[in-house]
Amino acid sequence: GAVVSQHPSRVICKSGTSVKIECRSLDFQATTMFWYRQFPKKSLMLMATSNEGSKATYEQGVEKDKFLINHASLTLSTLTVTSAHPEDSSFYICSARVTGDSYEQYFGPGTRLTVT
Contacts of other proteins in 66-95 (CB under 8 A): 91, 93
Closer to other proteins by Cβ: residue 97 or 115: 97
Q: Report helix, strand or coil for 88.
A: helix
In angstroms, rounded to a whole number, what is the distance separating the alpha carbons of residues 49 and 108? 15
Nearest to other proteins of 31, 70 (CB atom): 31
Q: Which is nearer to other proteins, 16 or 104 (CB)?
A: 104
Cα Rg for the chain, rounded, in angstroms? 13
CB neighbours (10 Å) of residue 89? 16
Q: Are 106 and 36 in contact (CB under 8 A)?
A: no
The site map against other proteins for 33-62 (x = CB under 8 A) is -x------xxxxxx--x-x-----x-----
Residue 44 CB neighbour total at 10 angstroms: 15
Residue 103 is a binding residue for other proteins (CB under 8 A) = yes
Binding region for other proteins (CB under 8 A): 4, 32, 34, 41-46, 49, 51, 57, 91, 93, 97, 102-110, 112
